Amino acid sequence: MSNKRLAKDVFDLRVALGSETRPGAPGSFYHIACGGERLLRRPISVCGAWDDVVRFVYAVRGEGTKWLSGVCSGARLDMLGPLGRGFDLADEPTLLVGGGIGVPPMVFCAERIDAPVHAILGFRDADAVILTGAFASFDLLTDDGSAGDKGYPHEKLRERLAGGEWKNVLACGPRPMLKAVAKVCAEFGVRCQVSMEERMACGVGACLVCACAVGGTYKRVCADGPVFNAEEVDWDV
Amino acid sequence: MSENVHAPDLSVNLAGVTLKNPVVAVSGTFGFGREYGEYYDIGRLGAVCVKGITLLPRGGNPPPRVAETPMGMLNSVGLQNPGIDAFLSDELPFLRRFDTAVIANISGNTPEEYARMAEKLGDMVDLIEVNISCPNVKAGGMLFGTDPALAAEVTRAAKRAAGRPVLVKLTPNVTDIAHIALAVKDAGADGISLINTLGGMRIDTETRRPILRMNTGGLSGPAVLPVAIRCVYQVRGLGLPVLGMGGVSTASDAVEMMLAGAHAVGIGSAMFADPYAPMKVLQGLGEFMASHHLTRISELTGGVLPWEA
Ligand SMILES: Cc1cc2nc3c(=O)[nH]c(=O)nc-3n(C[C@H](O)[C@H](O)[C@H](O)COP(=O)(O)OP(=O)(O)OC[C@H]3O[C@@H](n4cnc5c(N)ncnc54)[C@H](O)[C@@H]3O)c2cc1C
Ligand SMILES: Cc1cc2nc3c(=O)[nH]c(=O)nc-3n(C[C@H](O)[C@H](O)[C@H](O)COP(=O)(O)O)c2cc1C
Ligand code: FES
């Protein structure tokens, strides 16, 4: 494995799996053990996969991801996966909307769609910008205008959808962004799938701690998701 | 009889039911067995205790429902479950395909609800675990488990209707656990399960918000092991069969739990760190027996040698 800094507090982790394991599909995640003194694993989305190598891009947020960032190349990691229901990809013109550390799974989606793809990438500021090189065609936005245009992804999405050529929207990022993206897609009647985040324990669907309100009930982000149809998510619960 | 000829006997008797080994997947961490069944043969477990079920379906509490703690975690799931009828029709038949005992964990708002559930279960499960210790629901739950009179009333109601042995699951959130254990014993409990989770709380120092949407939750995982061992130890004098749980993650923890007085040992949160934890504990128990020349694992139960006071 290798573990390299990509930006301030963002790391690019590549792990060679045993040959019997499949790396997983866009939107799926691995549940990664982050040091023996922590009971819970950390869910991280698959950012890319080649043969038996799986790639993750993660931000250092708290103790667990800090520990992960200190793991040296060549070490062994304890990972459970691939887990979860990923994006339902179609080879149709697709807009990818990524916010901050939600951009990594969008990279994998772009690779796997055999049709025109355009990304709308939003970041806090210039220091947080990552992975733009992975997209052939993209809009770059920052909250403060320090890189690309000043603005939010859902505003750019509205402009793009007005053109009428896009059939699908896939999104990953902070919940307020996903909610805004879902609203814009609903206005245009365009199918939208979102990757949701929730705190997890088991990661496999057994403990029910990762509840997300979807379609009037609590669904398990780890097993029924993390990807859901945006129109089914109960955004205000 | 040479002691190496016979395979070590891992079977135990829990409240009149023979389990082929003492390793039990506890309630709420193992769903209805389907998920971990993808990782190993759940038929290798001594018993599976299912997610807490209620008379009617329950949606559970709003998220976040989990917070990490030093060597443990808090949960506030709030008994999300499909209700007893869906359990019987959709989940139990799956579990029954495996060669493992099934324990039904039930929660009610009133003693009558416990009785109605026990009646519906009939003899379709091996044991009934009466949960009077859930910290995450308003009505019923832990309220019953902290008051000896109420605990006894629920026990009697369940016992009257039950077609199988009844374990009463106790909360450690009491001053004197032996007092409650005695009350449920006198009310006819066939055994007790302990411990359920300990009340706990975490706060985000930036937002000043509790991590859990319900503000408080139940603590489990390795952090609670010593509390669980102490609780099991304190009820050992009552002569009640005990399903001991709380923080067990290794075979050595399980041996400790049995020495304190447990007849069988539950494993819960340890699975979140390692899904194979129950299988590893099982294997480790076999190794412990071999290295300590034990022929029957049940010899360990209550085998602690306390210092004289
Ligand atoms: C399906 C899914 C995919 C994800 N993919 C990525 C990714 O590709 N890259 C990336 O950088 N991050 C991703 N995350 C977020 C990542 O899991 C959290 O940032 C991480 O768990 C924080 O752990 P920590 O120990 O650093 O933080 P701490 O705050 O110390 O963690 C304490 C506990 O809270 C949990 N937690 C804290 N924040 C989150 C969060 N936002 N989501 C879920 N659990 C959280 C931790 O897992 C841990 O159990 C994903 C989350 C989910 C649910
Ligand atoms: C996520 C979660 C859900 C739980 N749900 C239930 C439940 O439905 N009924 C119950 O009696 N106990 C429930 N418990 C408590 C466990 O069965 C067990 O008593 C406790 O977690 C201590 O064991 P452990 O440290 O091995 O996890 C739950 C525990 C966790 C962590
Ligand atoms: S984390 Fe256990 S069900 Fe999702």
pLDDT of res. B136? 73
pLDDT of res. B5? 55
- Bridge partners for A97 per DSSP: A120, A171
The SS3 of residue B98 is coil
Written as one letter, the residue type at B3 is E
Just give the CATH number of A94-195.
3.40.50.80
Q: Tell me the two tokens of residue A134.
A: 């992975």
Task: Report phi then psi at A183, rounded to 5.
Answer: -65, -45
With a cut of 60, say whether residue A66 has pLDDT above it.
Answer: yes
Local confidence band at A108 (pLDDT 50, 70, 90 cut-offs): very high
Contact state of A211 with B72 under an 8 Å Cβ cutoff: no
Task: Report phi then psi at B65, rounded to 5.
Answer: -110, 5
pLDDT of res. B1? 46
Peptide bond into B195 cis (omega under 30): yes
Task: Name the residue facing A39 among B30, B62, B222 (closest C-beta).
Answer: B222
- Check if the beta carbon of residue B134 is closer than 8 Å to that of residue B108: no
DSSP string, B240-303: --EEE-SS--SHHHHHHHHHHT-SEEEE-THHHH-TTHHHHHHHHHHHHHHHTT-SBGGGGTT-
Contact state of A218 with B64 under an 8 Å Cβ cutoff: no
pLDDT of res. B275? 98
pLDDT of res. A23? 82
Mean pLDDT of A145-150: 95
Q: Tell me the two tokens of residue A101.
A: 């550390």
Mean pLDDT of A199-215: 98
Q: Which of 20-79 (A) contact B at CB < 8 A?
A: 33, 37-41
- Which of B34, B35, B209 to mutate to test binding with chain A, by most A CBs within 10 Å of its CB? B35
What span, in angstroms and rounded, lies between the C-alpha atoms of B151 and B138? 16
Q: Which domains does chain B have, with CATH numbers?
A: 12-300 (3.20.20.70)
Note whether B75 contacts A: Cβ–Cβ < 8 A.
Answer: yes
- A5-59 per-position pLDDT tens digit: 999 899 999 999 877 677 899 999 999 999 988 999 999 999 999 888 999 999 9
Catalytic residue flag (residue B231): no
Superfamily of chain region A198-237: Dihydroorotate dehydrogenase, electron transfer subunit (2.10.240.10)
- The reported pTM is 0.95
Contact state of B29 with A202 under an 8 Å Cβ cutoff: yes
Just give the CATH number of A2-83.
2.40.30.10
Atom index in ligand 3 nearest the CA of residue A210 equals 4
Q: Which residues of A touch B273 (CB under 8 A)?
A: 33, 39-41
pLDDT of res. B138? 67
Q: What percent of chain A has pLDDT over 90?
A: 90
Catalytic residue among B134, B181, B228, B267: B134
Q: Which residues of A touch B63 (CB under 8 A)?
A: 198-199, 209-212, 218
- Distance, in angstroms, between B186 CA and closest chain A CA? 33
**Closest of B224, B204, B225 to residue B215, by C-alpha:** B204
- Bridge partners for A54 per DSSP: A15, A49
Q: Which residues of chain B have pLDDT under 70?
A: 1-6, 138-140
What is the rounded radius of gyration, in angstroms, for the C-alpha atoms of chain B?
18
pLDDT of res. A138? 97
C-alpha pair distances (Å), A14 with each of A48, A65, B167, B195, B252: 9, 15, 49, 41, 35
Indicate if A198-237 has the same CATH topology as A2-83: no
pLDDT of res. B233? 98
pLDDT of res. A54? 95
* Domain residue spans of chain A: 2-83, 94-195, 198-237
Q: Which residues of A touch B271 (CB under 8 A)?
A: 202, 206
